[in-house]
């Protein structure tokens, strides 16, 4: 969700709205008029909740940074005390220059890409010569629907912004579109949240009231009827995925243990030239000695379904596989080049780290 010209225009418009919303002239009492009621401070449970919000922001926001590339802006979360910062792969995809700025402001610092794993939309950059505070990473498997959370990042370039909401749903499978140098991703076990996620929030922190980061905001749902983001429906890559993938990127710059299932094929989506509809997934290449190869799947075959779930597009196929594990045995329905259909059993392999 990098910022583009349109988003920059939105940010500028937001600035105008903010200025226009300010009252002019006079002190508060005079502006309010005689007899106006003075707001009362929060008490009891409300005061405790307000204080908790403030404490979490004070504790976590210093671990959230702004990331700028020549193509746009995003957010990042400090992973350790060695200067490693977690962000989304789509934030830094194809970037020739990466700059990191602390949420408190100050001068930006040059950063280098350590490694990226697009299937989970995760990347690590490293900043040298500056002290950054690591975030406390929580256990996303313990997240509960209804749990209060905050999203921290840099929406529309507004550094150090905080929004709040709840965990709306768990165990979502979310696919994002490829764009430019980013091939797209399919995230399993994504956390759905009502905390507003806007362009620039990508790569930031989804935080509980205990101050633990349980997710990395990655995408917001779009509403075709309005041609934009759907309010209150955002998704975050779970922290347990981050804790599995990021240490591998830090060690070698690659992922050797993705934990994700793969058929062992390279595919493309077929599009009907007359209707423009995406109609099927065609096998372009079969990986040698893969589960698909051993099951007799060949280049030119069409993959129609996996375990009874239709797979008319690459995204649909990726979504099905995202919820499976290496070693699982699945039933794949294929259509051969002569038009005949058959079902084959495939033992799933593991998605390679350079996928």
Q: Could you tell me the residue ranges of all domains in the chain?
A: 140-252, 261-350
Instruction: Name, in order, each residue with C-beta under 8 angstroms of 346's C-beta and a sequence gap of 6 or more.
Output: 263, 264, 291, 292, 294, 295, 297, 329, 330, 331, 332
CA–CA gap between residue 191 and residue 238 (Å, rounded): 6
Q: Max CA-CA distance within the chain? A: 86
Is 58 buried (19+), middle (13-18) or exposed (0-12) by CB count in 10 A?
A: exposed
Contact between residue 144 and residue 90 where contact means Cβ atoms under 8 Å apart: no
Per-residue pLDDT of the chain (355 residues; tens, 9 = 90+): 554 433 333 333 333 232 222 233 444 444 445 556 666 677 788 889 999 999 999 999 999 999 999 889 999 999 999 999 999 999 999 999 999 999 888 899 999 999 999 999 999 999 998 889 999 999 999 999 999 999 999 988 888 899 999 999 999 999 998 888 999 999 999 999 999 988 889 999 999 999 999 999 999 887 777 666 678 999 999 999 999 999 999 999 999 999 999 999 999 988 777 666 777 899 999 999 999 999 999 999 999 999 999 999 988 999 999 989 999 999 999 999 999 999 999 999 998 865 5
DSSP, residue by residue, 17-38 = HHHHTS--SS-HHHHH-TTPPP
Structure tokens at 321: 């596989």
CB atoms within 10 A of CB 34: 6
Residue whose entry in the numeric block shows the structure tokens 């979360």: 77
CATH of domain 140-252: 2.40.10.10
Report helix, strand or coil for 65. Answer: strand
Could you list the active site residues? Answer: 90, 121, 202
CA–CA gap between residue 210 and residue 208 (Å, rounded): 5
Buried b (16+ CB within 10 A) or exposed e, 72-100: bbbbbbbbbeebbbbbbbbbbbebeebbb
The reply to whether 140-252 and 261-350 are identical in fold is: no
To 10 degrees, the CA torsion angle through 160, 165, 170, 174?
-50
Provide the terminal-to-terminal Cα distance of the chain, rounded to the nearest Å. Answer: 21
Report helix, strand or coil for 9. Answer: helix
Closest Cα partner for 50 from 200, 157, 209?
Answer: 209
Contact between residue 121 and residue 237 where contact means Cβ atoms under 8 Å apart: yes
- Can you name the CATH fold of 261-350? Pdz3 Domain (2.30.42)
pLDDT on residue 187: 93
Closest Cα partner for 355 from 288, 281, 256, 268?
Answer: 256
């Amino acid at each position: 969700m990098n910022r583009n010209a349109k988003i920059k225009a939105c940010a500028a418009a937001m600035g105008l709205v903010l200025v226009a919303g300010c009252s002019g002239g006079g002190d508060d009492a005079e502006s309010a008029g005689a007899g106006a009621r003075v707001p009362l401070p929060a008490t009891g449970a409300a005061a405790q909740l307000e204080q908790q919000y403030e404490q979490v922001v004070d504790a976590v926001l210093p671990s959230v940074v702004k990331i700028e590339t020549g193509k746009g802006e995003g957010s990042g979360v400090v992973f350790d005390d060695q200067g490693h910062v977690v962000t989304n792969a789509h934030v830094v995809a194809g970037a020739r220059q990466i700059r990191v700025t602390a949420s408190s402001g100050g001068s930006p610092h040059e950063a280098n890409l350590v490694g990226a794993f697009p299937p989970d939309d995760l990347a690590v950059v490293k900043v040298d010569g500056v002290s950054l505070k690591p975030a406390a990473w929580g256990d996303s498997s313990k997240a509960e629907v209804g749990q209060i959370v905050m999203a921290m990042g840099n929406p529309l370039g507004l550094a150090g912004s905080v929004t709040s909401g709840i965990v709306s749903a768990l165990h979502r499978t979310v696919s994002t579109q490829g764009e430019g140098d980013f091939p797209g991703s399919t995230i399993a076990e994504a956390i759905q949240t009502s905390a507003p996620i806007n362009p620039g929030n990508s790569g930031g922190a989804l935080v509980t009231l205990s101050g633990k980061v349980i997710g990395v905001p990655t995408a917001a749902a779009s509403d075709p009827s309005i041609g934009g983001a759907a309010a209150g429906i955002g998704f975050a890559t779970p922290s347990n995925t981050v804790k599995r993938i990021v240490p591998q990127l830090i060690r070698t710059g690659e992922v050797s243990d993705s934990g994700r299932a793969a058929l062992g094929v390279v595919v493309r989506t077929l599009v009907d030239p007359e209707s423009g509809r995406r109609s099927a997934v065609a096998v372009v290449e079969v990986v040698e000695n893969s589960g698909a190869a051993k099951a007799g799947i060949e280049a030119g075959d069409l993959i129609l379904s996996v375990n009874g779930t239709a797979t008319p597009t690459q995204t649909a196929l990726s979504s099905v596989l995202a919820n499976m594990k290496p070693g699982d045995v699945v039933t794949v329905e294929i259509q051969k080049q002569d038009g005949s259909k058959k079902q084959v059993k495939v033992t799933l392999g593991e998605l390679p780290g350079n996928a």
